[in-house]
Amino acid sequence: MSALRLRAVLSLCQRPVLARAAQPAILPQRQLHASQPRYAKKNRDTKSKHSDDRDVEPVDDDAPRGSRRGPKSTAEFVPGSRQPITDEAARAEYKQADDKMTAAVEWFRKECAAVETRATGRVTPAVLDPVRVNMDGREVRLTEVATVGVRDGSVLIVTVFDDQNVKQVEKALYDSKLPNIVPQRHDSRTIRIPIPKRVFRSSQPTVESNLALVTAASRQSEDVRVQIRKAHQASLKRGNYKKHSIELEEFQKLVDRHVAEVDKIVAELKKATERRSEEKIE
C-alpha cells in the first residue's frame, strides 16, 4: 500500500506544470478636466528682467501726436524765410524800400489807366486805382471801402459801403490830384465823377494805335522795374546784411512782389486793348 502511494506521488510530481498567463496590470486612471487657456496679462507698470532700474515714462497712445515727448521732428521747426524781421533798423529800411516801390507801381498803374482810356475810347474803373482812403490813420485802397463802376461810358460811379465813410472817400478823390477827376455827391452813399469828352481822342482808336500804346506802356514798365531794383540795392547797401540772412530773403520777396504787380498791370492792359480790338473787328 505504501508502494502504491509512493508511485502516485511520483506520478503527480512528473506532470508538467502549466504557467499562468500574466495578466496586465490595471493602472488607476487619471481624470482629465478641460479648462480655458490662461494668458499672461499685459502690465505696463511691471519691468522685465532685462530692464534696468531707470524710470521709463509710459506712453499715452491716445495723446495727440504733437504732445508726445521725444525728439522733435524737422517739420516743427520754422524756416528762416518765414520768420519776420526783428531788427528795428532793418524793419525801418524795409518800410522805406516798400514805400518807394509802392509809389513807383502806383504811378505806373495810373499811367496804364490813362492808356486804357485812350485805347478803348471809354473811361475805366482802373483810373481810380491810385486813390488811397485814410481810415483811422491807415491808408487803404478805394476798392476796400467802395465799388467803382462806369455809366454811359464816361461817368464813374463810386458807391461807398458805409455812408459814414463818404466824406473820407470824397476827400481822398480830391487829394489824389488825378487829372479831370471832380467828384460830385449824388446821394448819401454815391459819388459821381463825369469825365469830360475832351479827354477821349476825337478819332476812334485803331488796332495800330492800341498796339503802339501798349508798346509804350511795356517800355515804361521796364523803367519801373529798374526803379524797384535800385531801391532794393540801395537798401541792401545801407543795411549790409549777412549772406542767407532773414533780411536778404524778405527784401528779395518784396522785390518779387512788386515786380509781379507790374507784370499784372501790363497783362491787364494788353487784355483790355485786345478785347476792344476784337469788338471793333466784329
Residue 75 has a pLDDT of 45
- Please give the DSSP secondary-structure letter assigned to residue 8: H
Cite the residue boundaries of each domain of the chain with CATH code 3.30.1360.40: 123-200
Q: How far apart are CA 279 and CA 207, in angstroms?
A: 11
Task: Record the cell numbers describing residue 265, joined without a space.
Answer: 498791370
The class of domain 123-200 in CATH terms is alpha beta
Would you give per-residue pLDDT tens digits along the chain (282 residues)?
A: 566 666 766 666 665 555 454 555 555 555 555 555 555 555 554 444 444 545 445 555 555 454 445 544 444 444 444 557 777 888 889 999 999 999 999 889 888 887 887 777 777 787 888 889 998 888 888 989 999 988 887 889 999 998 899 999 999 999 888 877 889 988 889 999 988 776 655 445 677 777 888 888 888 899 999 999 999 999 988 888 888 888 888 999 999 999 999 999 999 888 888 876 665 544
Under the phi-then-psi rule, with left for phi > 0, alpha for psi from -120 to 50, and beta for the rest, what region is 96? alpha
Q: Rounded to 5 degrees, what angle do the CA atoms 198, 200, 202 make?
A: 80
Nearest-angstrom CA–CA distance, 43 and 77: 36
Class of domain 79-121+203-282: mainly alpha
According to DSSP, the β-strands at 155-160 and 146-151 are antiparallel
User: Distance of CA 261 to CAs 89, 110, 228, Å?
Assistant: 27, 13, 11
Name the segment(s) of the chain with CATH classification 1.10.132.20: 79-121+203-282
